[in-house]
A and B are shown apart, each in its own frame.
Chain A
Amino acid sequence: MDKQKGIDSLFNPRSIAVIGASETRGKLGNDVMRNLIESGYEGRIYPINPKAGEILSHKVFRSVRDIPGDVDVAVIVIPAKFVLKAVEECGVKGVKALVIITAGFKEIGHEGQEAEKMLASLAEDYEMVIQGPNCLGIINTSAPYNASFSSGTPKKGSIAFASQSGALMTGILDWSLMEKIGFSKFVSLGNKAHLNESDFIEAFGRDSDSTFILLYIESVVDGRKFMDACRKVIPHKPIFVVKSGVSAAGARAASSHTGSLAGSDTAYDVAFKQCGVRRASDMAALFDVASVFDDMHLPSGNRVAIITNAGGPGILTTDACEASGLQIAQLTSQTVEFLKENLPPAAAVYNPIDALGTAQPEDYALCIEAALSDENVDSVLVLLTPQAMTKQAETAQVVVDAHTKYPGKPLIAVFMGGNSMVYPRIILTEGHIPVFDFPERAVHALAELYKYTVSRDSLKDESIPKFKADTKKVEKIISDVRADKRRVLLGSEAHAIAEAYGIPVARIRLATSSEEAKSLAEELGYPVVLKIASPDIVHKSDIGGIKVGLKTPEEVEVAFLQILDNARSQLPKAIIYGVDVQEMAEKGKELIIGCSRDVQFGPLIMFGAGGIFVNYLKDIAFRLAPMNRSDANELIMDTKIGTLLRGVRGESPSDVVAIEDAVLRISQLVTDFPDIVELDINPAFAYEKGKGVSAVDVKITIGGP
């Protein structure tokens, strides 16, 4: 079914039924009715209640079936046990979209979850969409209508906001009325039984009333769908997200709240990055950005002009800009000359422009206008401190006027102070100028908008490379391991899989007797390494399960027997498959390349400095597979070892192209085989340019039935 068509009806209904409408104040069914009427909804409203009569001057129907005309949207606010029946009736009636406010579903346990599954299947059967259950409702300021039990309706604006937390929305709504931030759509996602964040992102993307998308989520339903939806929207509209559950304790709280295992926060971070979504660290940052975007155009670059009446705040702002990736603009000579001519001699006319403590509104006006008209400036920050001669209100007005004259570039006010700044801030807010108390938050919000433009522009349609690979061989190995009832592959099997995908490996063979070990050593060429082969033994070297640098058949024989003895005596329960014989790879730069399948986003590829210190250095970066060559290159260069690989202090550069190839081949392998849930190559040795890489230790775990 086409969910987007359903959402179109949800956004612009010609008629709304309120199932569970009530005459009694304080009941949700009454709140919804009143909000609907008070929001100025112009379509038909049908209250549904078994007690017929009238509610708030609207004729009551006993059932949706009794309504004479079509119904586009039904809002359901009846106890959970009656919901399924009501939904079914709506289906029969041909209702296009349902908003189920009622709680008491997945969050109360198994029965609730089963009911929720029924909701989703009814939705599919009758080709209708369902928002919720367990949600606050929906508000569309441009229809206009408010089908929620919120207290109040937000100001009309261009921000579309969807939230997994209904309670959070009520707080934000209230706050936005004070801050004069407007919304186009206000959607409470609830339990996401049918419609989820991805559907609304796509709908917001298509909605001409929305120019900016904000999300609060605890988890996404389908990682891939989410990324696809965001990629479609990002070129036209910014998406800013707060995703909670960052810390271990936070993630635990989220699991406990949503009842579903959240993907790793790293995976979320990478997913946002790869589809151009900006992640805000907290709600305050999210709405700082929103408040700037609500009034201003996006900056066309990162060059900032700072205008101030005090040195200290100017320096603080400069530091904040540099830290956030913004640049202090170099003003054109015309601007500098103009300022020199018009400001007192003691004023600083380079950026930051310090018009001195004596600065009057006229001084501010000429500085702001000069900055806004300077071609080297992309946005302007106006700082004001309350000094003896400062005229706060008049200066605020000057800022408003300048923006009216030059609306193209972002202009942000930072009016530092308390009581004396209350009225000036009102002037600014009324005049559509975002205003902050302190510079750091203003700079951060501006920087975030700039960074959105960067990530938007860096989304490219580069194709995913496709290497030749022996998939039959991989299939065979995996099915053999499965038949042996194992999850963990032996070294020889894992290496064979890597080889089948053209990843250069230090060759490895399984020996089940010392004689076989000797003949394999001859075949591979001395020196060799011997390693215990047992899926039950994780840390091989800790139990004396590895012997390196074996140069003769005698050494191989002794090592073989010693390794088996060590394993048997230290881990008697471990099931031993033999001893792996491996050729010694020439030492290179130690790297780690790994993959762990995230529950939400799929294969998460890791790259970084390898060896035994991985867990301590943590010089690693991540990307989601499948990836293109630019992704692979960025992944490598995101790490410190990436810099070293380019060659430093006269050292010749490493074979970065070969490393990229290895990363891309792994990306292809784990995409082709969802059975592979964990993969680790540690170490992989990287050699000089042209000499390639070698995977020394490959570990693979499979999942599935």
Chain B
Amino acid sequence: MAKNIVITGDTVTGKTMVAIALANKLRARGSTVGYFKPSGIKSFAHSTQEMDVDEDAAVMKDILGMEEQLNCICPIVRHMSSYDELLRISKDELKERIQSCHANISKNRDYVIIEGEQSPWRLMHVGLSTLDITKELGATVICLVNFPDFSAIDDILLQKELFKNYGTERIGVILNLVPPMLKKVVNESIRPFLEERGIIFCGVLYNNRELFSPTIGDIMRALDGEMVIGSEKLDLLIDQFIVGSMAPENALKWFRRSKDKAVITSGDRTDICLAALETDTNLIILTGGVGPEIGTLTRARELGVPIMMTALDTYGTSQVVDDLIGTITVDNKEKIAAVERIVGEALQLDELGL
């Protein structure tokens, strides 16, 4: 009989990231892992005439190499078209769909990771809330809670009470988006405070830009760019973008301040390109369709730093990349390794007794 783990929480990207990292950890121990999302939301980009598809389900199916159909991995896909789209289907039918699909997925697997709703009470109106599902399947619960400041302590206690009312005595908690300035107080005070109240502390995800950093692949797609060299490094993460238009003597000073950066400049600025290469640079973006000079190319090749060209000008490029957020989608799996590493390091699962 497979062990069920429910991940619930009010962030969209966080849950899937934790699911990926958790699956990776369990698989590293030699366990077989499946993914199940009782209810999802239709992705119009990925759905077909025959089947409504939830994007997370599609991503996880791919990552875990699951053979089940997508409408089994995520049996209920909402269109968000009316308040009663689920009410129109009978509760029993919904429950039956979930049970049979879950049974299918848990067959021959050690673990099933179940992705819950944004908050545990969502879909209570049709008996499909994460609380209901957890109770139904006897799952271990991991709550992902955003923790921008102290006030989130009460959110955690509320969740604990909710699950208790549904028969789950102990829940695990992962604090998400914690500002580094709370590091000390979280470790020294908040963790013991929560543990005293019977909550299992499963880790902290600090406000880490890396998790949301775009990959070179993301950037290339956003800029409609072309790799001059380094096309094998599309999964490198870019933490910051710096526009290189300064005098060369100032360039080094600024470039030295950030690591894993992309430098945006024009192809004829060999001095800027060389200064960028002298520091910790993951990518050079050459704008205006002007290619690199041979000196830049030689040095970049020597150091293994990718160079991308785009037809956009420097201003246009910086506008595009400024709000670029790296997520894992069906078309973009370059970030998986980074997520497995960063989230995996933060997870502490011993107390959950998995």
- A residues sitting closer than 8 Å to B (CB atoms) are 106-110, 112-113, 248, 251-252, 255-261, 264-266, 484-485, 487-488, 512-513, 533, 535, 538, 573, 575-578, 596, 599, 677-678, 701, 703
Asked if B249 and A264 make an inter-chain contact with CB atoms under 8 angstroms apart, the answer reads yes
Given contacts A109-B298, A252-B248, A576-B181, 7 further A-B contacts (CB under 8 A): A248-B248, A256-B271, A256-B293, A259-B298, A260-B299, A487-B259, A678-B253
Instruction: Return chain B residues, CB-CB under 8 Å to A258.
Output: 295
Asked if B180 and A110 make an inter-chain contact with CB atoms under 8 angstroms apart, the answer reads no
Asked if A703 and B298 make an inter-chain contact with CB atoms under 8 angstroms apart, the answer reads no
A260 CB contact (under 8 Å) in B209, B274, B279: B274
Closest to B278 in A: A261
A701 CB contact (under 8 Å) in B185, B256, B270, B274: B256
Q: How many A-B residue pairs have CB under 8 A?
A: 95
Instruction: Return chain A residues, CB-CB under 8 Å to B180.
Output: 484, 575-577
A512 CB contact (under 8 Å) in B182, B209, B297: B182
B271 CB contact (under 8 Å) in A251, A485, A575: A251
Asked if B301 and A110 make an inter-chain contact with CB atoms under 8 angstroms apart, the answer reads yes
Asked if B207 and A575 make an inter-chain contact with CB atoms under 8 angstroms apart, the answer reads yes
Closest to B322 in A: A573
A255 CB contact (under 8 Å) in B209, B210, B248: B248
Instruction: Return chain A residues, CB-CB under 8 Å to B298.
Output: 106, 109-110, 112-113, 259
18 contacts between A and B (CB under 8 A): A107-B294, A110-B301, A113-B302, A248-B248, A251-B248, A252-B269, A252-B271, A255-B274, A260-B295, A261-B274, A485-B210, A487-B257, A487-B259, A487-B280, A576-B180, A701-B256, A703-B256, A703-B280
Asked if B184 and A512 make an inter-chain contact with CB atoms under 8 angstroms apart, the answer reads yes
Asked if A578 and B253 make an inter-chain contact with CB atoms under 8 angstroms apart, the answer reads no
Closest to A259 in B: B295
Q: Does B179 contact A (CB under 8 A)?
A: yes
- B residues sitting closer than 8 Å to A (CB atoms) are 179-185, 207, 209-210, 247-249, 252-253, 256-259, 269-271, 274-275, 277-280, 293-299, 301-302
Instruction: Return chain A residues, CB-CB under 8 Å to B274.
Output: 255, 259-261
Asked if B297 and A110 make an inter-chain contact with CB atoms under 8 angstroms apart, the answer reads yes
Asked if A701 and B257 make an inter-chain contact with CB atoms under 8 angstroms apart, the answer reads yes
Instruction: Return chain A residues, CB-CB under 8 Å to B256.
Output: 487, 677-678, 701, 703
CB distance from B236 to the nearest CB of A (A): 15
Asked if A261 and B294 make an inter-chain contact with CB atoms under 8 angstroms apart, the answer reads no
Instruction: Return chain A residues, CB-CB under 8 Å to B302.
Output: 110, 113
Asked if B271 and A488 make an inter-chain contact with CB atoms under 8 angstroms apart, the answer reads no
Cα A533 to Cα B183 with chains together (Å):
14
Cα A512 to Cα B190 with chains together (Å):
14
Cα A252 to Cα B270 with chains together (Å):
7
CB distance from B86 to the nearest CB of A (A): 36
* Given the contacts A248-B248, A596-B252, A577 and B181 also touching, CB distance less than 8 Å: yes
Smallest CB-CB A-B distances: 5 pairs:
A259-B295, A261-B274, A578-B181, A256-B270, A255-B271
Closest to B300 in A: A110
Closest to B295 in A: A259
Instruction: Return chain B residues, CB-CB under 8 Å to A677.
Output: 256
CB distance from A240 to the nearest CB of B (A): 25
> Which among B207, B257, B269, B275 has the highest number of chain A CB atoms within 10 Å?
B257
CB distance from A58 to the nearest CB of B (A): 38
Instruction: Return chain B residues, CB-CB under 8 Å to A596.
Output: 252-253
Instruction: Return chain B residues, CB-CB under 8 Å to A578.
Output: 181
Cα A677 to Cα B274 with chains together (Å):
17
Asked if B299 and A259 make an inter-chain contact with CB atoms under 8 angstroms apart, the answer reads yes
Instruction: Return chain A residues, CB-CB under 8 Å to B293.
Output: 256
Cα A211 to Cα B182 with chains together (Å):
68
Cα A538 to Cα B179 with chains together (Å):
19
A108 CB contact (under 8 Å) in B252, B259, B270, B294: B294
CB distance from A434 to the nearest CB of B (A): 37
